[in-house]
Amino acid sequence: MFAPGFFSSGSVHTALLLGTIVAIVSGLMGVFVLLRNQSFGGHALTDVATTGGAGAAYLSVAPLVGFVTGAVIGAGAIESLSRDHSQRRDVATGIVLGAATGLSGLFLYLTATTSSATGVTQQVLFGSLFSVSSSTVPVAAVTALIVTVTMALVARPLLLSSLSPDLARARGLRTSWLGLLFLLLVAVAVGLCAISIGSLLATALLIGPAATAMRRSRTITGAIVMAMSVGLAATWVGIVLAYDSFTWRATGQGLPVSFFVVATILAFYALSHVPLSRSRRV
Amino acid sequence: MTTPVLSVSNVTLAYGDRTVLDDVSFSIAPGEFTGLIGSNGVGKTTLLRVILGLEKASRGEVLINGATRSRSERAVGYVPQRVSIDPEVPLRARDFVALGLDGHRFGLRRRQAGDHALVQRYLEAVDALAFADTRVGELSGGELQRVLIAHALISQPSLVLLDEPLANLDPRSVQEIVALLHRVAKEFNVALLLSAHEMNALLPVMDRIVYLTQGRCASGTTDEVVRADVLSELYGHHVDVLRLHGRVLVVAEPSDDVDHLPSHATLNLDN
C-alpha cells in the first residue's frame, strides 16, 4: 500500500514528525476549546494566523513564526477589545477576524505580485506538509512542549472555570487571567496547526478530533487521549494517501495532504454518530 | 461564646444611586441551618456574592470564622444558582464532585486512592451513587443539585452558601433536597446559608432566618422574625402574618402603592 520511496523520503519523515507533534497539541487544546464553547474564537484565531503566515511569506520569514505571531497578536486584540466591555466578545472576535482577513488579502497580493514564488497563497491557506523545511521540526517540538506542560499545570483550574466561572471565582481563581492564558495557548496551537494543514484548515484539526472524542468518551482525560489519537490517525492516513496520490494521475502530481487529513477527520466524526450503547464510551 | 462561622456587619452596597444592601447585619453560629428569605430582586444573590468575596461592599465587614475572607477561602463552600453544563461534555457526576477537592489547584497532582474513597463517601451522603457515572449534563435538576451539594461539601468547609437551590425543582424534589440538606448539615457539622423566595418548605428545618427586603434585613429564629410587628417595620408598612396548617403567609394590606407590596405575598396565597 505504500508507494515506492515512502520510508526513505526526507520530506515524508519531516511531514510525519511535524504532523504527529501538531496532532497531539491540537487534540489537547481542541477538547478545552469545546469545553469552553470557544469554537468561534478558535476559528477567528486561524484567520489571524493566516495574516501572520501571509505577512511572513511577504517578508520571507519562517512560516511558523508568522502563523504563531499572527495568532497571538489576534488573541491579544480580541481579549483587549472585549475586556474593557466596549464590545461583546463575539463582536470583538468578528471585528478582529474581518480586519485580519483584509490584511491577509493585502499580504498575499503583495507577495504574489512582487516575488517569483508560486503557490504561496495555496501554501499559507491550505498548507503543504511535504514542503515544510526540516528545520521547522525542532522549533515546533519545543513550542508544543511548552504548550503541553503549561496546560498540564493549569488543567484543573481551567476545567473548573470552564464549567462554572462562579464556582471557580468562589474558590479564589482569577478566571479572566486563566481565560487570557488559554486564548494565548490556543493561538500557539493554531499556529502549529496552520503549518501542518494550512491556516484555513487549522480549525478542522483543532475542532474535528475533539468533537469526535467528546461524543465517545466518559472522561475529559479519555477525550483528550482520543482526540490526540484521531488527529494522529487522520494525519498519518493523510500523509500516506497524499504520497500515494503521486502515482494516481498521469501528470505525476500528487493531491494535497490537507485534503486527505480533513477528509479522514470528517470520516471519524461521521463514524462517531453511529449509535452505540452508552456503556461503550471509553 | 463560640466564634460565629459567619458574621456580617453593617454591609452596605450601592450601584450608583440604587442601594441594593442597606446596613445588613447578622451572624450564624457553627452548624446552624439558616434561610436567607426574600422575594426576587431584593439582593439575596448580591449578599451571597459579597460573603464569597465576588462583590465588594461599599461599607461593612464580612468575617468567616472570625477572619476576613482572604485567609479563609477554603472554609466556604458554594452552590451557585445556575450551573449549566452541556450534555456533550464528557464529565461524570463523580468527576465533578472530585473537582470540589482539587479543582482550584494548579500543578500536577495525581488523585490518591483516598480521594476516590472520599468522593464515593460524599456521593453516598447526597444519595447520588445511582447516577455517579452519568454525564453531569444529562442529570435532572434534582440530581444536579445533589452533585453540586457534594461538590461544595467535599472540601469540608464550615459554611456552605446555596443560591436558590430549591428554585426550578418540582415539589417532590424540593422536599427531598430540604431533607437532604438538613441531614448532611448535621452529619458534617456544617452551617448552611440558603437563599429562597419561599420560606414554607424550610420552616421545619431552619434554625435561623435572615429576612431580606428592599436591602434591609431582620434576623433571628422564625418565631422572632416572622411576626406582624417585625415584618411591618421591615417593610415600612403594615403586613399580616397568617399561620395556616403549619404554613406561613405574609400578606400585605390592600394598597394603592403597589411598589411596597411584598411581592411574594400573593405567591404564598396561591399555594
Residues of B with CB under 8 A from a CB of A: 52-54, 73, 76, 78, 80, 83, 85-86, 88-92, 95-96, 99, 102-108, 133, 136, 151
Q: Write down the pLDDT at residue A138.
A: 93
Find chain B residues with C-beta within 8 A of A215's C-beta: 88
CB contact under 8 A, A171 and B104: yes
Q: Helix, strand or coil for residue B33?
A: strand
Q: What is the pLDDT of residue B71?
A: 53
Structure confidence at residue B123 (pLDDT):
97
Residue to mutate among A37, A39, A164, with most B CBs inside 10 A, is A164
Ramachandran region, residue B107 (left: φ > 0; alpha: ψ -120 to 50; beta: rest) = left
pLDDT at residue B266, rounded to an integer: 41
Locate the chain A residue with the closest alpha carbon to B160: A170
From the number of C-beta atoms within 10 Å of its C-beta (0-12, 13-18, 19+), residue A232 rates as middle
List the beta bridge partners of residue B13: B21
Pick out chain A residues at pLDDT < 70: 1-3, 84-87, 116-118, 276-282
> CA distances (Å), A259 to each of A129, A242, B78, in order?
11, 9, 49
Cell of A202: 487549522
pLDDT of residue A78: 86
Per-residue pLDDT, B267: 42
Residue B270: its pLDDT value, please? 35
Query: What DSSP string describes B200-246?
Result: GGGTTT-SEEEEEETTEEEEE-HHHHSSHHHHHHHHTS-EEEEEETT
Chain B contact set for A172 (CB, 8 A)? 73, 104
- Interface predicted TM-score (ipTM): 0.87
Amino acid of residue A89:
R
Minimal Cβ distance to A164: which of B83, B104, B106: B83
> B76: part of which helix (H) or strand (E)?
strand B76-79
Q: Could you give the maximum distance between any two Cα atoms of chain A, in Å?
A: 65
CB contact under 8 A, A160 and B92: no
Interface contact A156-B96, CB threshold 8 A: no
Of B95, B99, B104, the CB nearest to A219: B95
Cα torsion B210, B71, A176, A140: sign: negative
Of the partner residues A156, A168, A170, the one whose CB lies closest to the CB of residue B102: A156
pLDDT at A280: 54
Give the whole-angstrom CA distance, residue A184 versus residue A192.
13
Q: What is the pLDDT along chain B (271 residues), one digit of tens a residue?
A: 688 999 999 999 998 888 899 999 999 999 999 999 998 888 999 999 999 988 889 999 999 988 886 655 567 999 998 888 999 999 999 999 999 998 888 988 778 888 999 999 999 999 999 999 999 999 999 999 999 999 999 999 999 999 999 998 998 999 999 999 999 999 999 999 999 998 999 998 999 999 998 888 999 998 888 888 888 888 888 888 888 887 888 888 765 555 544 544 444 433 3
CB pairs under 8 A between A and B: 77
**Quick check: pTM over 0.95?**
no
Task: Give me the pLDDT at residue A39, please.
Answer: 87
User: Which residues in chain B are closer than 8 Å to A218, comparing Cβ atoms?
Assistant: 90, 92, 133
Contact B108 A35 (CB under 8 A): no
